Structure 1
């Protein structure tokens, strides 16, 4: 029997940019900034119907309903559930500490898309997973970076063997992140990995599968009161000769010249580099790009690869579309299901655990 190809050469069919043939109506739970800036613009662009919206601040929900022609605004999750279409997909765009309470109110067997992360600590993810299992929910997580247009294009190139055998995957972020735009995160005891690097760890898993080991350093800024804001995370893949590194610095406030925001894949015959423009001068964002270099055309250098769209809002179309495609049966499994993304949270937990150990002391006295 021939060996199974590595996962990046055999990607899940849900990672294509295809749309569902029979979209279902969406019930939005939450009307915060991410819904305003990403979910609703994405659904409008895709032509998805948003049947209703609810939020703890009804005025916020009413404002968005008026802007996006949403049919109903509800005062509570219970009201939204009572009035929901039988085939609705519940889009729960809330912090992880609110997941369980909302999930308990959904009908057994309902389809739901949760916001990442599944928890600030692994125990919260365990509770969320337990509720999803007990209620038989078709539950996915909005790990939308998997569906960013430049990632979709890069995945196609890599799966086609364009850059040969993958031996290096690097994510590097060095930007000023305005955490103050998200006040609720400022009091968390964990910040960077569970709120930001979770995107990149999840992206790595979507290409390479589950790592066998996690090595990490994560630290806070000496003059800021919030938790960790800079991390280096290295992932091991058993005997496979591949280097995987996620390096983030959210405290770089020295201007655009040396800001960095990219994912790079290197292989035995070439390399692909995606620039994540959204994080440059966030929330305005900088330029997105995707470039390819191959050994057979080294004199041509890095060549642009065309794609359409950006992380916000287009990747949010993919997150919802893959759930709907699974529900209609056009794909047979759900790559972003809670059971899968729980494994991303396990990698996050391992990174915090390893960082707390402080590394291996050098044998200075030998």
Structure 2
């Protein structure tokens, strides 16, 4: 019998007051429902337009609605800021929160511009000097199947990771006519951020030596859909390990999900996430163990990301999803976009180590 690691979100009985910035669809469908379910205290909300913020506050019992983001950031009773906004101006908001003495959970992608990274590291340096924690809402790290796979790898259940493979076997969300469709190479620069990030976690302890990515339009893709619907990404690592991520297009299936395989020197983990496909199976030696899972990525993953930040604040440590740690995922995504822009030519990042200590040194 294999003991099941505790893969559920770890949310402390914290009385820290959280202020939410942003009142869009994701705030109402994921952030606030997750926090309500797991007892995370949100006491204020602000957005660029007061109407949606007021509606959210009424629906979820949030005490205070501020007319401006600045007012929320200046509230001395707010200790943690949850940035549920788009990527434009994200570093400005992180910096403003840090200047006002707030811990931060920032929505992903943390950055979509290589030129922003030096400024990000400067902000993180200021936060560190002030004893503040800056984390990223990489909520998929706490999707039950992916979280359990992470813990099994950490426990050495499959030895050293040899390869990671992801297949997107489900329809794409509506993209044509949305703001996402205006982003160059959107599947690589935004949509696949969670897949890139979890792959980075599973390959911890190695260095990325090559990133190759392609995207293209697919048969039947409507003209109104500006971004390609196919994307593929390959990583080569200093250890000889590799990773592959593939979106074939708007898959037409009623029984899909997002299957993944993690092959190691001593065993294999296989599983799936989304659309009710969630499972994890450990295949080692003569034994195959399939684990029953509790919970869902949406919305438990959001509780996991915030819960890890709150736990880190209470324990006076860096959160697993610290901005410094996620910076390596950002660099992989930027390299993938650059490769696609160059028609699939490999990009060879310099010093892209997937180790927490190295990432923190680079952020210093």
- Deviation by residue 1:162-184 (Cα, 9 ceiling, x = unmatched): 33443221111132212338822
Check the 8 A contact 2:44/2:65 in 1, yes or no: yes
Cα 1:120–1:325 shift into 2, 3 Å: same
Check the 8 A contact 2:339/2:345 in 1, yes or no: no
1:355 to 331, 340, 350: 340
**Structure 2 length-normalised TM:** 0.82
Secondary structure of 2:89's match? helix
1:204 Cα offset (Å): 1.3
Residue 102 in structure 1 maps to residue 103 in structure 2 = no
- 1:1-366 correspondence to structure 2 within 5 Å: 17-85=9-77, 88-108=79-99, 109-134=101-126, 137-180=132-175, 183-209=178-204, 210-221=207-218, 223-224=222-223, 225-238=225-238, 240-252=239-251, 254-256=252-254, 259-277=256-274, 285-297=275-287, 303-329=289-315, 332-359=317-344
Cα 1:360–1:178 shift into 2, 3 Å: closer
- Deviation by residue 1:309-340 (Cα, 9 ceiling, x = unmatched): 1111111111111111111126x322222222
Secondary structure of 1:340's match? helix
1:295 Cα offset (Å): 2.7
Check the 8 A contact 1:232/1:245 in 2, yes or no: yes
Check the 8 A contact 1:77/1:105 in 2, yes or no: no
Partners of 2:216 and 2:342 in 1: how far apart? 13
Secondary structure of 2:286's match? helix
Q: How many residues align?
A: 333
Partners of 2:302 and 2:208 in 1: how far apart? 26
Q: Which residue of 2 aligns with 1:280?
A: none
Partners of 1:287 and 1:211 in 2: how far apart? 30
Check the 8 A contact 2:185/2:215 in 1, yes or no: no
Cα 1:359–1:314 shift into 2, 3 Å: closer
- Deviation by residue 1:336-361 (Cα, 9 ceiling, x = unmatched): 22222222111111112222333569
> What runs of 5+ residues in structure 1 fail to find an aligned partner?
1-12, 278-284, 362-366
1:148 Cα offset (Å): 1.4
- Deviation by residue 1:70-110 (Cα, 9 ceiling, x = unmatched): 11111111121233515x11000111113133234325242
- Deviation by residue 1:278-315 (Cα, 9 ceiling, x = unmatched): xxxxxxx3332222333313xxxx54302211111111
**Structure 1 length-normalised TM:** 0.82
Q: Which residue of 2 aligns with 1:364?
A: none
1:273 Cα offset (Å): 1.9
1:262 Cα offset (Å): 1.6
Partners of 2:89 and 2:342 in 1: how far apart? 30
Check the 8 A contact 2:30/2:302 in 1, yes or no: yes
Secondary structure of 1:177's match? coil
Cα 1:14–1:22 shift into 2, 3 Å: farther
Secondary structure of 1:18's match? coil
> What runs of 5+ residues in structure 2 fail to find an aligned partner?
347-364
Check the 8 A contact 1:271/1:294 in 2, yes or no: yes
Check the 8 A contact 2:109/2:193 in 1, yes or no: yes
